[in-house]
Structure 1
Amino acid sequence: MLDLGTSFIASVERDPDALAIVDGDIRLSYRQWYGKVSALAAALGTIGLKHGDHVLTVMQNRWENASLHWACQFLGLIVTPLNWRAKADEIDFALEDSGARAVFYEVSSQEAVRQSRRAQNLPQFSAHALADFMEGCAPEATPAADAADWSLMLYTSGTTSKPKGVPRRHRAERAGAVAHVAQNLYRHGERTLGVMPLYHTMGVRSLIASSLIGGAFICLPRFDAARALDLIEQEKITNLYLVPTLYHDLLHHERFAAERVASVTKLGYAGASMTDGLLHRLDQTFRPELFVNHYGSSEIYTFTIEQKAASKPGSAGRAGINQTIRVVKLGSRNPDELAAIGEEGEIIALMKSDEAFEGYWKRPDADAKSIHNGWYFTGDTGFVDRDGDLFVTGRADDMIITGGENVSPVEVESCLSLHEGVAEVAVVGLPDERWGKIVVAFVKRRGSVTAEDLDRHCRDSGLANFRRPRRFVFVEEIPKSPVGKLLRRLLVAGEYTEERTPEHQ
């Protein structure tokens, strides 16, 4: 397996004059970008960073950030990216945990870096400084890393504990990108909207996969539906790989029109389940050649792939080309204790995958919880149907047990999403003296739909009585993470704003 620096050089040699990256007025071919990356690598080599060092990045999807990612691959530095919205204490934690030797930031993260106690003892470089470095001239960069070296360390989002570092080697990163190209049927020269953040596995995969096919990575530093629509139209974007929330925002923007996105032939989504309603609307509007549901994680990029997502709503498909999966009985740690067809259990994935990590960074406790007998226990629940397709029903921690019955929030959300009066919905279990927990639906509505309307819809849809929500709460917004995942825990904690009635507006 090639290291990523050699992989980039191979891309330059194949397609030297092809458009590689776009960011506002910046438009660089592969040959031009290689020159910029080489200059940046040379500059970084003079500031004391050495092979195997972590560097912390707190930046949006700018061309400077993408260039830094590639320069680090040449130098054998371990890119350790954080959300550009990170607070000072989060930066302190990551710096202490990773032992990073430098910090790279931009205007949006400047104040947090300034307030970070640990960052003050390290070299700090702004995006403007990186751009200045790339104005220089340097010999063409040669790889100082090999395929077995660490490339990247992502942090998983912590919900009840501190985030966990997920270190990944060059070979695993490239294997994931090659699989991404194959599983999404990317053609030579695809144009990708580079909006999924480079602190997220989807964003990194898009960046590397784009280089493998001589494609163009069109930077959108932070998501804005209007700006995304402009870029899709102006740059003739051919594929979108987004979380469901961003698709929702595109589709419902006032300036959306099918003709503006006519260049898009492939849709892919990951990071969260997509409701049946949104799936249907996207399929009818874009009419894509390919509509992929990619199910995976930071730890192992691909678990399963469904290439006909709209034809079998909810299906996550079958194991990716580098993977094999199983569903084991809930609570079991034995990879051979399989759940029956149609029985809900925990999804596990083989650690032998070319795309897999090898364990968490300095977290033997997390390894002991998640890795058993060569299998990664995902913490996700699901079942395999009679066709052999996987259906992901949620997180084991999200399962609602009401009156002794298991209720998957995803199933209820998909049912409600098909009602025209529902813009967005999230379902959680809230404590109840009699039932243990009751099913509660939090709804951002479209129009004047009522709780009675939605309850009738659930009954008419054939949703089992014990799965029907006992309460409907109409809210201003559904809380989500920066990459669009539902934050059910905030709803459980009461951290939401109920919709204001007309008399209170």
Structure 2
Amino acid sequence: MEFNHADLFEGLADAIGDRVAVVCGVPADDGTPGTYVRMTYTELDAHANRLAHHLESAGVAAGQHVGVQLYNGIEYIATVLAALKIRAVPINVNYRYVESELLYLYRDSDIVALVHDVEFADRVAATAQRAPALRHLISVGGVSVGGISVGGTSGGTAAVAYEEALAAQPATRGFPARSGDDLYIIYTGGTTGMPKGVMWRNEDLFMGFGGGNPYGEPRATPQEVIEHARNAGPMVMMAAPPLMHGAAQMATFIAWWMGSTIVYTRRFDAALVLHAIEHEKVLTLNITGDAMAIPLADELAAGEYDLSSLMVISSTGAILSGSVRARLQGLLPNTMILDNFGSSESGYTASGVEGSTPESGLRYRPNNDRLAVLDESLKPVEPGSGDIGQVAKRGHIAFGYYNDAGKTARTFPEVDGVRWLLTGDVATVEADGTIAIFGRGSQCINTGGEKVFPEEVEAVLKGHPEVFDVVVTGIADDRFGSRVAAVIQPYGEAPAAEELDRHCRGRLSGYKVPRTYAFVDQVKRSPAGKADYRWAREVAERSARG
């Protein structure tokens, strides 16, 4: 056994097979809580074995890529496991993508097979034949979708129904030996462009996301992971984001390495998430920033739920603004709320210092000496100097971007024989070693020579009682080069610009206050809660033109 995700899961299936590995809430047709589908470690292992053998029978070989275009469910994580079992590579496909975006991802990732929900059949049918490598489709739900074919405009193969694919295969293993060097790819959605596939070695991915022990030192051997899981009391953990986001995939594996049960809902809905926490007695909940925290807080305030089991809420992938965090904490006074710093490229990196918020300044305490702030010469910033640099990490990190050597070279430079990941986060190091983060350098707005980080302005605006969500961006300005603009989704009627201006000026320097406000019915975000800054800039520019 190696530090390989398929090896480790099979070890758990052998050691704690009768424990429940996964639960997924599937709503009824009217949107109310419906049924909860569950599988033990043994059952999920057998399920994934059948799918893995089917992929082998379809010609999927080690190192080839298998797309997963599914809502949350047992089929999603079973497909990930099935690919890993045969040393293939699972590729997460954003289920919100339209045809042009899907075609880009299908081609960029070189997927040879695709497992998709029947809800997406029309988009798949319109796109699959133009992806040269894609030759096999499996449809989940309903019946076999004969109208979809791959392999060119003629002679294509119809999609196989998921249940049919499983029924024809054995539940036993019998797979080739695997390695800690096996590839794992997470496609991460950019805020300004098309996504890129982040490439990891399995062992680095395991270590980068907790090493089987998120509360201490990584496990020393794979066998130690299995023994600790065997001896641990069963816990129930929940991932609220979609599995097409790397955070939910990693939350799943972290739960399993602890011998726990992971809970999903098919899609994010605050009421269904809270019902699942109550129904399954969830201990820890993983969310993605304000985009999930706000509707959860609204639903908590409006409904009645027994959340006495919930001890921890952890936000990853997006930072909680102080006002939203305070509101959620007030509704759940006995629950610990954590902000964790990390990314698809870096893994888990650090936890927020108590009292740290975007409004007051984001501050993180590194959990090891592999995190640093490097200046423009890629030298460490001296603690307490006030010098500005970029957050960087070494050690167990991703090693590059699939099909993008240029971006790989820029993001993963080697300095004195050490390979670093440059995260893009602009920061300084305080005298006690705490890292103070200002924001993403790529989104920084230069207005008249002054630098404005959108995250700080967004956090202040979210503190206004009539602002539900907001994205701040820079647009062209004849005098200052760029001006600060805010795209706002109000709770109801849009507040007056003068009112928002007064709110901001009491909390921000004058040059940080938005000079343009645009109001929308809904702020555009990815399923993982990430802001779409390119969209926001287009909306703000239209508003400025009148």
Shorter-chain TM-score above 0.5: yes
1:3 is the counterpart of 2:4: yes
Q: 1:118 is matched with which residue?
A: 130
Q: 1:428-467 residue pairs with structure 2 within 5 A?
A: 428-446=473-491, 449-461=495-507, 463-467=508-512
**How far apart, in 1, do the equivalents of 2:177 and 2:242 lie?**
24
Deviation (angstroms), 1:495 = 6.6
1:188-267 → structure 2 map (5 Å cutoff): 188-244=233-289, 245-253=291-299, 256-257=302-303, 259-267=305-313
Quote the Cα distance in structure 2 between the aligned partners of 1:445 and 1:180.
Answer: 42
Task: Compute the displacement of 1:366 (Å).
Answer: 0.8
- SS of 1:473 mapped into structure 2: strand
Q: Which residue of 2 aligns with 1:290?
A: 336
Correspondence for 2:15: 14
Alpha-carbon distance in structure 1 between the residues aligned to 2:382 and 2:42 = 51
Query: 1:159 deviation in Å?
Result: 5.1
What is the match of residue 188 of structure 2?
A: 156
Q: Which moved more, 1:178-187 or 1:418-427?
A: 178-187
1: distance between equivalents of 2:492 and 2:113?
Answer: 51
Per-residue deviation at 1:101? Answer: 1.9
Out of 52-61 and 152-161, give the one that drifted further.
152-161
Structure 2 SS opposite 1:283? helix
- Structure 1 position 105 matched with structure 2 position 105: no
Please list every run of 5 or more consecutive structure 2 residues that lacks an aligned counterpart in the other structure.
25-34, 142-160, 218-228
Distance 1:341 1:477, change over 3 A: farther
Using a 3 Å threshold, how does the CA distance of structure 1 residues 386 and 458 change in structure 2: closer, same or farther? farther
Match of 1:365 among 393, 400, 406: 406
Task: Name the CA distance, whole Å, in 2 between partners of 1:134 and 1:333.
Answer: 54
1:476-495 superposed Cα distances (whole Å, 9 cap, x missing partner): 32221221112222121127
Superposed, 1:102-501 pairs within 5 Å as 102-116=113-127, 117-118=129-130, 122-128=135-141, 129-135=161-167, 138=170, 140-142=172-174, 144-158=176-190, 161-179=193-211, 181-183=213-215, 188-244=233-289, 245-253=291-299, 256-257=302-303, 259-306=305-352, 308=354, 314-321=361-368, 324-329=370-375, 332-336=376-380, 341-350=385-394, 353-354=395-396, 356-372=397-413, 373=415, 374-446=419-491, 449-461=495-507, 463-494=508-539
**Residues 175 and 131 (structure 1), Cα distance of their counterparts in 2 relative to 1, 3 Å cut:** farther
Give the Å deviation of 1:235.
Answer: 1.5
The question of whether the paired residues in 1 share the 8 Å contact of 2:356 and 2:363 is answered with no
Cα distance change, pair 452–362 in 1 and its aligned pair in 2 (3 A): closer
- Residue 76 of structure 1 aligns to a residue whose secondary structure is coil
Deviation at 1:104, TM superposition (A): 1.2
How far apart, CA to CA, are the structure 2 residues paired with 1:57 and 1:309?
A: 39
**Cα displacement (A) at 1:266:** 0.7
Q: Unmatched 5+ residue regions in structure 1?
A: 499-505
Question: Structure 1 residues 76, 309: closer, same or farther in 2, change over 3 A?
Answer: farther
1:345-396 per-position Cα deviation (integer Å, ceiling 9, x unaligned):
322222xx22x11122232211222122221112222333344322332221
Aligned length: 491
Q: CA RMSD in A?
A: 3.0
C-alpha displacement of 1:183: 4.2
TM-superposed CA distance for 1:152, in Å, is: 2.2
1:85 to 2:108 alignment? no
CA distance in 2, matches of 1:262, 1:314: 31
TM-score by length of 1: 0.88
Contact 1:349/1:377, CA 8 A, preserved across alignment: yes
Summarize the Cα distance change of 1:137–1:492 in structure 2 as closer, same or farther, 3 Å threshold: closer
User: Could you say if the C-alpha distance between residues 401 and 491 of structure 1 is closer, same or farther in structure 2, counting changes exceeding 3 Å?
Assistant: same
Equivalent-residue separation in structure 1 for 2:85 and 2:184 (angstroms): 12
Does the C-alpha gap of structure 1 residues 309 and 207 become closer, same or farther in structure 2, counting only changes over 3 Å?
Answer: farther
Q: Please list the CA deviations of residues 245-292 of structure 1 after superposition, one character each: whole Å capped at 9, or x if unmatched.
A: 111121123775474433211111121222111111122222355322
Q: Secondary structure of 1:22's match?
A: strand
Deviations 1:75-118 (Å, cap 9, x if unpaired)?
11111121122333333333333332211111232112111123
Q: Which amino acid aligns with 2:204?
A: A
Q: Sequence identity, in percent?
A: 25
Preserved contact between residue 475 and residue 496 of structure 1 (Cα < 8 Å)? no
Residues 159-212 of structure 1: CA deviation (Å, up to 9, x unaligned): 555432212222123223434751499974332323322222201101111211
